[in-house]
A = this chain, B = another copy of it.
Amino acid sequence: MADTPDALARFYSVIPAGGIGSRLWPLSRADAPKFLHDLTGSGSTLLRSTWDRLAPLSGDQRIMVVTGRAHRAAVEEQLPELADANVVLESEPKDSSAAVGLAAAILVRREPDVIVGSFAADHVIRDVRSFRRAIEQAVVVADAGYIATIGITPTEPAIGFGYIHCGESLDIPGAPKALRVESFVEKPDLATAEQYVEGGEHLWNGGMFVARADVLLDQMRETQPELVSGLEELAAVWDDPARRGPAVDRIWPGLTKIAIDYSVAEPAARAGRLAVVPGTFDWDDVGDFASIAKLHSGGRKNDLAILGENARVLADASSGIVVSQTDRIISLIGVRDIIVVDTPDALLVTTSANAQRVKSVVDALKLSGRSEVL
């Protein structure tokens, strides 16, 4: 078994930067997806912050970004250090199994014993040191042949996240915190979530996976043999500029769209091959505006969070969040837990309690043919 430094030297970060973030419409859209926004007020986009978290772990020449062709320029502007060989462009979105699987298939051909870690481009983690410690253990766990995930200690009975049911310690040297995963649990109802938090055996599923690339692909092959075979066919010609394009055109459109949770994590958990390293860092997938409001207010009920460089907000007895992408005066009077998102061509007004329903508006706009604002 490898010791930590050696395994970490073989570590490669993969950032799938794909999702639009429909529940953050009208801020996030096809041409301005969630990962290209600064949702925390840090001055950095979520993508850039993700990069900055990973670069100290894998080195900035060992971070691969998988994104849509349309986002190439924006991604490269955000990440000037990103090497050409580390840009993987999707001709159309094919969900996380294809994105992470292709990265793994490409990297394993370049470095047979590479350990890959997949990290969403649009999550928020502020405690970078604690994050780093968890990933270091996950790399060791991965080197031992497991598929490792990171579980976040819940701070509240959230119903918007999936949970990981933890089992016994795996007793892996160099990864003392690693536990076997009993099962993955979909977003629970509130009562169940409360039991999880109280019971102490459940962690939030942070959507991070660390594994040897060959182990990851073998696991995926068990349930998605055709997908993996397509990905490997692509990987075989990926580093040959003349053959890559035609292969993408031929293979990519037919690939199965499936989340890596279903193609890898759940089957691995059932087979006893999934491990979890509990992380004590803060984490949020900032899935909706209520999450953003909470990030900004630090949980204080009466705060009004204001996002937008040129925001001109006049608020009286109001709380929640205002996102301003215009230079208009925005005046709020007596509105609590409100969400106001003001963009040049679309305005959203809702409340924290309804934040998850924003996606349904996006669906309605699609159906009614008003996709110019999506």
Contacts and interface: CB of A to CB of B under 8 A. Distances in A.
Interface of A: 26, 312, 314, 316-317, 328-335, 338, 340, 342-351, 353-354, 357-358, 360-361, 364-365, 368, 370, 373
Copy total for this chain: 2
Given A332-B350, A333-B349, A333-B360, 8 more contacts: A26-B331, A316-B361, A328-B347, A330-B349, A331-B346, A331-B365, A335-B351, A347-B347
A354 B334 contact: yes
Given A328-B345, A345-B328, A333 B350 contact: yes
Contacts of A331: 26, 346-350, 361, 365
Contacts of A333: 348-351, 354, 357-358, 360-361
A365 B313 CA distance: 11
Contacts of A328: 343-347
A279 to B, nearest CB: 33
A289 to B, nearest CB: 10
Residue of A342, A354, A368 most packed against chain B (CB within 10 A): A354
A178 to B, nearest CB: 42
Contacts of A343: 328
Contacts of A340: 347, 349
Contacts of A346: 328-331
